[in-house]
Structure 1
Amino acid sequence: MKYILASLIIFPFVEISLLIWSGHLIGAFPTISLMILTGLLGAFLAKKQGLDAIRKVQQDIQSGHMPGGHVTDGLCIAAGGFLLILPGFVSDLLGLILLLPPTRSMIKPFLFRLFRRWGRNRNVIIYR
């Protein structure tokens, strides 16, 4: 919990500082243009890759396989698209890391361990 609170304070400070620094370095218009461009790129990539992930999940379910890896891909794609839409360079970098398949495949084992730990620490009840 303390890490979440610290990141909620530090993250916006770093983002705003980098935006101000970029505005001084390359100007306000190029900085704003970069933010708009990355937002549009994020929306496009998230839509394209998200639809692919949904199709793969559906194919896995129809063939009787567990779609765990593809569901995790979908979560990473959604988070990456959201981060790219947010203004700021750090969020754009994190969003690209989550959207690019080579870097996403390096993050997935960490996410599997995290989800497993959350599942062990919680009582999960599924109603049918």
Structure 2
Amino acid sequence: MGATFIPLQSNATLMKKQFILGLIGGICGILIAVYVILSAMSSDQTLSGVQTALFSSLGLMGAAIANKETRFAGWMLVFAAVFITLSVPIAGSLNLLFLYMPAVIILGIAGVLCFLEPEEIREEEPE
């Protein structure tokens, strides 16, 4: 008796690396933002946490469309990583940078992977 192999699905239905990394980075950013908001000692730290949560949700939205609109999702992921980094000086403490760094790095890598993927050429049907 021979072994039976299950054929692989097409690439269109598989989850891409950009989606998985964007999802991990967005969830990580939101969890860190909730931690910062709950443990904030000043209103500036709370504001930084809220901004991080908003930009992490932008990263989640970018991850959600990474399979269809790869370039646009890449821009969303890169902007999320950059603006999370820019929300650190608002709090007046660079200690938050170390908390936000995992989310920033993961979202940045996901964004770069979106730009490295070759763009699909779409042929429009004649009307």
Category of TM-score, reference length = shorter chain: 0.3 to 0.5
Where relative contact order (Cα < 8 A, 6+ residues apart) is larger, the structure is 2
What TM-score does the superposition give when structure 2 sets the normalisation length?
Answer: 0.48
Larger helix proportion of the pair: 1
